[in-house]
Amino acid sequence: MPDSLGRELTSRRRSAGGLFVGRLLGLLLALVLAPVAGAPSEATAQDTAPRTFRPLTQAMLNDPDPGDWLMWRGGYANWGYSPLDQITGDNVNELRLAWSWAFAPAGPGSTGMQVEPIVYDGVMYIRHANGRYSAHDATTGDIIWEYSRELPEEITSGDAVFTVHRGRGVFLFEDRLISHSTDGMLFALDPRTGTLVWETEMVDYRRGQQPSGAPVAFNGAIAVPYNCTAWSAPDPCHMSAYDVESGELLWRWYTSPTPEDPQHETWGHDPQVYPLASRRNMSPWQTPAVDTERGLFIFGIGSSAPQQPELAGTDGEWPDRLYHGSTVALDARTGELVWWAQHHTDMWNNDATYDRILVDSPLRPDPTDALGVNPDIVPGETRELVIGSFSKDAIFYAYDRSDGTFLYARPTAYQNVIQGYDGRTGAFITNPDAVMIADPDREATICRENRQIPQGAYSPLTNAYYVPAFNGRCSVMRVRSLSPTLATGYNTTTVRSAPNPVAHLGQPEAIDVSTGRTLWRLDREAPLYGMLTTGGGLLFAADTYRRFYAIDQWTGEILWETILNGVSDMAPISYAVDGRQYIAVISPGGTLGSSSHVGQLRARVPIGQRNVGHTLFVFALPE
What digits encode the pLDDT tens for the residues 537-589? 999 999 999 999 999 999 999 999 999 999 999 999 999 999 999 999 999 98
Per DSSP, the three-state class of 156 is helix
Torsion of CA 315, 319, 322, 325, to 10 degrees: 100
Average pLDDT over residues 363-391: 98
pLDDT for residue 50: 57
Q: Say yes or no to pLDDT of 182 above 50.
A: yes
* Average pLDDT value for residue range 126-140: 94
Distance of alpha carbon 376 from alpha carbon 406, whole angstroms = 10
Half-sphere exposure of 520 (CA within 13 A, CB side): 12
Residue 26's φ and ψ, nearest 5 degrees, are: -60, -40
> By the 8 A CB rule, do 532 and 572 touch?
yes
Q: Specify which residues 176 forms β-bridges with.
A: 173
Burial of residue 174, with CB atoms counted within 10 A of its CB: 0-12 exposed, 13-18 middle, 19 or more buried:
middle
More confident residue, 375 or 150: 375
pLDDT at 195 over 90: yes
Nearest residue to 460 via CA among 56, 81, 72? 81
CB 27 within 8 A of CB 21: no
DSSP 165: T
DSSP letters, 549-602, are EEEETTT--EEEEEE-SS---SPPEEEEETTEEEEEEEES---HHHHHHHHHTT
Please indicate whether residue 89 or residue 156 has the higher confidence score (pLDDT): 89
Per-residue burial over 371-387, b if 16 or more Cβ lie within 10 Å, else e, is bbbbeebeeeeebbbbb
104 pLDDT more than 80: yes
Q: How confident is the model at residue 165 (pLDDT cuts 50, 70, 90)?
A: confident
Strands 382-389 and 176-180: unpaired
Instruction: Give the DSSP letter of residue 272.
Output: P
Does residue 309 have a cis peptide bond before it, meaning omega lies within 30 degrees of 0? Answer: no
Contact in structure between 429 and 420 (CB atoms under 8 Å): yes
Coil, helix or strand at residue 25: helix
From 584, 452, 472, select the one nearest 526 (Cα to Cα).
472
> So what's the pLDDT on residue 4?
36
Dihedral sign for Cα atoms in the order 409, 414, 416, 417: negative
Mean per-residue pLDDT for 226-238? 88
Cα 65-70-74 angle, rounded to 5 deg = 90
Q: Which region, left, alpha or beta, applies to residue 392 given φ > 0 means left and ψ of -120 to 50 means alpha?
A: alpha
Give residues with Cβ within 8 angstroms of 119, minimum separation 6. 68, 69, 70, 125, 138, 573, 575
pLDDT tens digit string along 485-520? 888 888 999 999 999 999 999 999 999 999 999 999
More reliable by pLDDT, 585 or 35:
585
Closest-CA residue to 62 (of 295, 286, 281, 270): 295
| Digit-coded pLDDT (tens) for 308-333 | 999 999 999 999 999 999 999 999 99
Question: How many angstroms separate the CA atoms of 217 and 246, rounded?
Answer: 13
Kindly state the average pLDDT of the residues 603-619: 87
The closest of 258, 220, 252, 222 to 239, measured between CA atoms, is: 252
Provide the CA 500 distance to its chain's centre, in angstroms: 24
Question: Residue 382 and residue 402: Cα distance in Å, rounded?
Answer: 13
Measured CA to CA in angstroms, residue 62 lies from 75, 112, 482, 535 at distances of 8, 31, 50, 19
Strand order through the sheet with 176-180:
171-173, 176-180, 185-189, 196-201
Statement: residue 42 has pLDDT above 60: yes
CB count, 10 Å around CB of 55?
Answer: 11
- Tens digit of each residue's pLDDT (9 = 90 or more) over 400-451: 999 999 999 999 999 999 999 999 999 999 999 999 999 999 999 999 999 9
CB 616 within 8 A of CB 585: yes
The H or E element that residue 26 is part of is helix 16-33
Cβ(343)–Cβ(397) below 8 Å = yes
| pLDDT, mean over the chain | 90
Using DSSP's 3-state secondary structure scheme, residue 340 falls into: strand
Query: What stretches of 415-479 show up as alpha helix (H) in DSSP?
Result: none
Round to whole Å and give the CA distance between 299 and 354.
8
CA-CA distance, 610 to 604, in Å (whole number)?
Answer: 12
Average pLDDT for residues 603-613, to the nearest whole number?
82
**How far, in Å, are 536, 582, 622 from residue 94 at the CA level?**
14, 13, 7
Average pLDDT over every residue of 22-45: 43
Indicate the pLDDT class of residue 206, thresholds 50, 70 and 90. confident
Q: Which domains does the chain have, with CATH numbers?
A: 3-620 (2.140.10.10)
Mean pLDDT: which of 36-50, 78-92, 231-245 is highest? 78-92
Task: Give the confidence band of 9 by pLDDT, cuts at 50, 70, 90.
Answer: very low
Model pTM score: 0.93
Q: How confident is the model at residue 606 (pLDDT cuts 50, 70, 90)?
A: confident
Mean pLDDT of 153-182: 86
The residue that leads in pLDDT, 37 or 455, is: 455
